[in-house]
Each structure stands twice: as structure tokens, then as C-alpha cells.
Structure 1
Amino acid sequence: MSWRLTAADLPDLARGATLLGTGGGGDPYIGEMLVERVLGGGSITILDPDELADDLFVIPTAQMGAPTVMVEKIPAGTEPTLSLRILEDHLGRRADATMPIECGGINSMIPLVVAAETGLPVVDADGMGRAFPELSMETFAVYGVHGSPLALAGERGERVIIDTGDDDRQMEWLARAITIRLGGVGHIAEYAMSGADVRRTAVPRTISMALALGRSIRLAREQHRSPFEAIAETLAPTLYSHVRELFVGKVTDVERRTTDGFAKGRAVISPLDPADGGTFEISFQNENLIARRDGEVVAIVPDLICVVDHESAEPITTEGLRYGQRVRVLGISTPEMMRTPAALAAFGPTAFGLSEPFVPVEHVPVERIPVEHVPVERSAEAARV
């Protein structure tokens, strides 16, 4: 059923969306402030995907670019709604709702900015179930909805329409080039679709799941419980049911560069106790792609690789990684619709040039986060995700 989201929900939503963003999806604080500025004391209607009318017209909205650029180049705030209006004018039809294309600190928030400004509802779903660096890496595209025409808006009112038919990779390539020329950040409206298409192609209820995750982490801290057990408890009844602790240590090296419109690099994490031996390395392209322990793969896309503070479980983005941070690395399983052969071809290891095959994180022989002592009662948000 539909529900209402208010400004009081934003910190928890940003936290949970950042965890699901697996290192990418933009800065959570910036995303939260953008929504808060336009929402004020109002609220936004969140629609359950199962209840959408078949002919409901949905236009997803998002921000694209390198997360490292977004930290310094703050959006004007007018671009997301402008991109929606550009695409509506091009198509000759007004949207009935908007929706995220991915989970992330900013990109779970951009549709909320549009909703707060326009009064549109937001569909509780997205096209990645996490964050990926390229616009073609969508469950929408995997299951038959194409991104073109795409509308792109810049902070100075620049307006661009890109139409590559059913070639979503070409759409990404052109949009990325324009985004680079705009200074590394652009705002987009794309993958216009019907309510029936949403139900068929989108990962369901990721907004409510992100809210439940962020709230469970906060409440666990306030109640002096383990936030890591809270994460496992919250995800257990969802499509993301497997959670594993992959490593605990200190960040000892970060190599990061902004190139081709992406933040690319790696992070090395060493054990807190040198006697434990071994090292852990994560490679990323905006988002964390592959994690190796002593050279052996322990998690790989499309499964989630999440770096969090080793005590508070606060998620850490790839642009936020710093030398000396004490962290835990969590592996989280993705929904089955993201593990089909067609899905793996679009955003599995080979899509990033990785030679290692996809192995589900629950099949890798590492310790799972203990949940046997988690309290039985679940929050209302966790129960309905």
C-alpha cells in the first residue's frame, strides 16, 4: 500500500540508501539537504509497485557523474525537475509518477526532490537494486524497457535530448560525454515506462527497504545493540536475505582517480591485529566491484560490497574512504532477477572487464554475521519490505 514520507525520515533513508549503494550513488548528506530544502514540513506519497495501474506513466529521474566531482560541485537544485519537464515536453505527455534508477545517497533522493517540487508520487522501486556506474546497467534494460529518449539538464539551464533507440550503451556513452563537458555532473530523466513495465522490470520496494535499514541501524545504536545484527535482521525477510562479514580492518591505502566521468580506484584494508595476517583489497568504479582476501575473490558484482564504520555501521562511500579508517566490509546478496544470465551480461563481472566469474556471496566460505541472538520482534518497516 502507498505511504507518506516526511523530512523526519530523510536521515534514515539516506543512511540505508547509502548502504545499498555499495559505495556509490552520491553523497548522502547532499542528497538529504536537497530534499529537505524543498520538502519543508510537507510529505511525499510513495507508491507500492504492485498497486500501480497498468497505464500509469512513470519517468525515472537521477543524477549522473563521478561521485568525487559531486562533493565539490553542488547541484543548483533546479536540474532534476528541469530534466523531467524537458522529457515530458519531448514526449508530449506529463508523468504520473517518478522513480529512482538506483539506490544511493543522492540517487535515492533525486526523485524525492522532483516529487516535492511537482507534487508527483514516487514509486517504491528502482532499476538497479543497488548502484552501478553506467546508465545501461539497469534491470529496466535487461527486461525490455529502453532508456531513450533521455533528457539531460545542466546547472545553467542546458537542455539536451539523446535518442539512440534501443541502444542503451550508446545512450550512456553520449550522455557521459555531455556530462563531462558540463563539469562532471548532469541530471537526467530516462526509461519512461508504464506501470505494467515497472512491475515487470524494476527491483521492488527499495525505498522502503532503505528506510528500514537506516532506521534499524540508528535504533540499534540508541538501544546499545549491534547495528550489524540489525542489518542482518532487517534484510532477512527481503530479496537481499544473505549478509556476510567479509573483513574487519584498517584502511591502509586508497588509490582513486577521476577519469572518463567515473571515480576509479582501489582500497587496501589491513587487519587490526597484525598477527591475523592477510590483506583485503576492493576495486571500484564509482561503486565497489570486487573484493579479494589474500588474492581470493570473496564478493563480486552484482552482489553488494559495503564498507561501513567498524563500530557504528555508518556506510562509507568510495569517495569517503580515507587512510586510517577502521571498517567492516559486508557482502550482501542481490535479488534473483539480478542474477539471471541476461542480468549478468548487463552488469556482472564481464561488463566491467573482470575475468573472475560470478559466485553468489552466500556460497563463498566466510563467516556470516551471527543472527541467532537477534531479538524476534522486527520493525514495521522491515516486516513489510
Structure 2
Amino acid sequence: MATFTCGVQTSAPAATSLPSSRRKGALSPRGNVTTRLQARQGREAQEWAALVRQLSRDGRPLEALALFREMMLRREWNHHGGRRPDGSPLSTVLRGCEALGAVRSGREVHAFVVRNAEWLVDLCQTQSSLINFYARCGFLLQARLLFDRMSERDVVTWTIMLMAYANCDGFEDEMSVLFDQMLCSGVEPNPHTFTTVLRRVRLQQGHQLHCYIVKRFLDSDAFVGNALVDMYVKHGSLDCAERVFDGIEDKDVACFNSLLSGFGRTGDAEILVSLYWEIGMAGLAANQATYVGLLNGCASSGMMSLSEQFHTHVILNGFGSEVIVQGALLDMYAKCGDLEGARTIFDNLGTKGRSIVTWNSMIG
């Protein structure tokens, strides 16, 4: 029976043999996958799947697919003990195809799944991986067609399709309609579903979703709460963002950064300083995003003395050489009227560190 590897039709024995230049590797002590497989009788699914995953991790998704196909076609394995193979290795193969931009190979995986659907134990999981593959490769229509044809969908499937819309501009309405369909179907959203939808909803929809989240006691969850804060900050509703922030238990630095970015646009120096010290009091360490938010706030406030203090903290905490932070420093000094300080930072950036943003800050 014919099989394929690297998109070329070959005979079955050739498809299970790796190129000689790749036989020395981390797959086995001798580096020879074929020898290792042939040396064992009555192979188990876990052993095959492990080899498929290893090939995918090594950046060889087509060989992994060929090996998985042989695994599925071996009659003695398919019927051994009445067990059926699972499709989890295919998810690994699809991630490898995505990383390499191997769309044709991903389509071959899809065709293989269609032909062998009755053998796969976890067909829903495998189809969800295919939807994710098509969406990430820019084939949103194909992802949706596959989604619509699925006879069974779980919360992961719905969330992947929602994420596909959320990652594309101009599909907010489609995402909202799909989320309503999910609720009507009786599938309960999980925290990942909420954070995905909150990225793209309008303010009124965000309020409604917030109420839905509160009823399920998820608003105190740091993961969901941070998404709510981000949503309100994006729409300029800082009072709502602050109320959500205050109700979050076990805040992480990302929660503080979200609120900092919002108040940074207003230039409210008092709140910026308060939030910065709260980070330390909570036992958390400020990161690059923290200082970018603070410096942007200083730029909006125009307070030179506060700007210099935060610049000192940036240096003391080891973020002075970060290009993004330097860009924020440059913008801060320029907007505070200290052109000499801005020029010094601009010169330190060097040619590689300069971007259209830093040039505009200097010119403006």
C-alpha cells in the first residue's frame, strides 16, 4: 500500500525509514527509528505516539505524519486487544506544520482524519486541532466550515473558534453571534473562553458579559479579572476597571500593569505612584510592562521630577537597556520638554534600536 513522506508518494517500507543523514539523533541510543521499531513485536500505542511526538519536536512533521499513518494502517495493531488509537499525536504534527508554514501537509493530515475518523478515539480533540491549524494559518473560512460540520463540540472547540475570530480584525460581530450560539447550545464557557471574548467585545456587551461572569463567581479569578480590567481600560471606563481590580484575589503583576496602562493615559500621577508601591507591598516584582506604563503616564502628566524618579527606578531594577523601555523614556523626556535628555537616550539606542516611533518622538 502506498504512503507518503515529505509530500512524495513512496512504497510503505520507504515511508518508515528516516533519511540516512538524520539517523543519528535523540530518538534512540542508536538514532535509528526504523531499527528500533522493527526490533519490537506487538508495539503499543504509547510507544508509537512518543516517536511521532519526538519527530514533530525535532522539526520533522512530515516524517511524523508518515510514521503515524503507518501506525494506523497496521492491522495487527488496530485490532490488538480491541483497542483503537487516539489522535493526540496528530495535534503535535499539526503544530509542527503550522510552525513550518506547511499548509499542504496540514491538509494531508485533514484528509487522513476524514478517512480514518471511525478509528480515532478522540475525534473531537483532533478536529479542534485542525480548526486551530487552519485559523492560525489564515484560513478562517475553512476553520469555520470544519467547525460547522462537527457533530460534537466541546468547550475547547468553541473557544478555539472564538479565538480565531478574536485574532482577526473585523470579525467582532461573528464572534459575538458564535458566543451566543455557544450559550444556547448548553456548553458552559471556561475562563479561557471569557478572556478570549472580552478582548473584542464592545462596552455594552462587556457589561453584559461581566454580569454573566459575576453570577458564576469568576470575577475574583485573576485570569478572568485581568481580562475584564483590560476590556474596561480599552474602552476608557477606568472606574469600572478599578472596581474589578479591587475585587480580584491574588493579583499578579499583569493585573497591576493593566490598570497602570489605563491611568497612564490620563496622567494621574497620584494613582500611578500608588499602584507602583502596591506592587512592591504585594510582594511582586515590577517588569518591563510596568515601567512602560509608568513612563507613559509620566509623559502624559508632564511632571519632570516624577519622570526622573521613575527613570532611576528603571536603571536600579535592570531595565535601562531594554529597547522598549528606552523608547518610553525617550518619549517621556520629549513630552516633558527635556530635549537634551531625549537626545541622549536616542543616541544610546543606536541604529538597530531606533524605530519609526522613536524617530517621531524626536521629530515631534
| TM-score of the superposed pair, with normalisation by structure 2 | 0.23
**Greater RCO structure (CA 8 Å; 6+ sep):** 1
Structure with a larger share of its residues in strand:
1
| TM-score of the superposed pair, with normalisation by structure 1 | 0.22
Structure with a larger share of its residues in helix:
2
